[in-house]
Amino acid sequence: MLGSSAQSRPAWTAAPLPPAVEPGAPATHDWTFEAAEREVALLGADAPPVKAWTYTPEPFPVLRVRRGDRVRARLVNRLSEHVSIHWHGLRIPNAMDGVQYLTQPPVQPGGSFTYAFSPPDPGTFFFHPHCNESGQVGRGLAGILVVEGDERRKPDRELVVAVKDWRLGPDGRFLDFVTPEGASRAGTFGTLRSANGRRSVTETVPAGADLRVRLLNLDATRVMEIGIDGAEAAIIAVDGHAIAPVALDERGLETWRMGPAMRLDLLVRTPKPGGTARISDYFSAEPWTVATLTATGKPVRKAPLDPAILTRPVFPEPDLAGAERLAYTFTAASDSIASYAEAIGEDSVRRVLMDSLCVRDRTFWAINKLSWPNAADPRLPPPMAMLAAGRTYRLELVNATPHPHPIHLHGHVFRVLTSSIGGKPVYAADTVLLSPKERVEIAFVAAPGDWMFHCHILEHLETGMMGYFRVV
């Protein structure tokens, strides 16, 4: 199935990645995003257009900056409900993190907000709102941010692939994004799979070339098992952060599992002229082709693939000797039919409070037995823990449910230290997938602010599996 190129190859160097190159004078980027409903031909040219919600005229814009550049992003809201932009995975000031009510007031219809920051880490990132995410991201409200500056050698070509399912009926209308059956289990799945807003990506690439593929799982629910067939490839970064390259075949890892919000960077040696390679999701019995790469022209390179093209990450490494330990267990809510809405009474008040907490009216999930909002304060629950800025925290995360949960910490990069399942290389991330019954340890250096910590299956965070750390 995988790893077609069987010829013997030299083992890649295990030498540590070289240090990052300091960025030059920063450029300034001034962007305007208009969150609005726009017609998109998701079902094909001869089907009715879909009324998607996007930040830009085209869905899934790819914005590019260099590490250290200055970004000013003005968000204007042309939708009928409030929005924001959360910059997923970026270590930026807390006031720019884009979590409605926690880090900023919601951007109301007709309103605007300007985000200003400098991305400190290179890598593959994305952005999305943080309230009614299942409905807003479900309609397409998301974009991609590539932060350059991690390459010591440029690949010949680059390809960005964002995967997302759509919940659409045959008439092009959206179906319910949240269902009790889905929210209380693995999530409600889409009816139409897509990559870059199309049925799948087909790309003509130069033969025998080095292709960097930036793969993003922007789906609300789906876990993917990514592998490649027909070309030699290596994993070079996880959630944007460079790792010592690992072959994506039987010599290394045959596949890499990606939950919602996770990213994976590959370096692919494209096939010989006329050859085809496929990047696929092998999670289900019937593999789904994410991208088909067809090679043309004379081979660009003769030397064997050397995937060590990236420099070392620059995020602060945790100090494990001085770390404080915390433990979090992810479970079903103790009373899975508990209705928060009923507990807070009368209709109009209930609506305002539920909106202010960005929750659904039912609770299915909990972290350390507490479901967001844990009701002590109806406007903003207390933090899960108070942390000290600059200190290293070592968190034990236990998944005591029969479903996978991609757990995301805002505003930080963490080292994934251990896993009860194992088999992964050393890597860092902002979202870690906890398989059923898995126990994982992560560590990070705390940065000041109120930082969300939640499952990135959107229905799970909206039905209780959410909290935040206060770092002072």
The residues of the shown chain that bind Cu ion, judged by CB under 5 A, are 405, 455, 457, 460
Burial annotation 287-306 (CB, 10 A radius, 16+ → b, else e) = eebbbbbbbeeeebeeeebb
User: By the 8 A CB rule, do 82 and 107 touch?
Assistant: yes
CB of 3 to Cu ion, least distance (A): 31
CB of 455 to Cu ion, least distance (A): 3
User: By the 8 A CB rule, do 464 and 363 touch?
Assistant: yes
CB of 315 to Cu ion, least distance (A): 25
Token pair recorded at residue 463: 């039905």
Q: Which is nearer to Cu ion, 385 or 455 (CB)?
A: 455
CB of 172 to Cu ion, least distance (A): 29
CB of 452 to Cu ion, least distance (A): 14
**Following DSSP, what letter does each residue of 115-142 receive, concatenated?**
EEE---S-EEEEEE-SSSHHHHTTTT--
Q: Which is nearer to Cu ion, 228 or 407 (CB)?
A: 407
**CA–CA dist 35, 112 (Å, integer):** 10
**CA–CA dist 384, 38 (Å, integer):** 39
Q: Which is nearer to Cu ion, 210 or 239 (CB)?
A: 239
CB of 403 to Cu ion, least distance (A): 7
CB of 460 to Cu ion, least distance (A): 3
**Following DSSP, what letter does each residue of 211-234 receive, concatenated?**
EEEEEEE--SS--EEEEEESSEEE
Q: Which is nearer to Cu ion, 168 or 455 (CB)?
A: 455
**CA–CA dist 261, 130 (Å, integer):** 13
Nearest to 280 by CA among 346, 213, 328, 339: 213
Q: Which is nearer to Cu ion, 63 or 455 (CB)?
A: 455
Query: At residue 424, what is the residue type?
Result: K
Q: Which is nearer to Cu ion, 314 or 455 (CB)?
A: 455
Q: Which is nearer to Cu ion, 118 or 184 (CB)?
A: 184
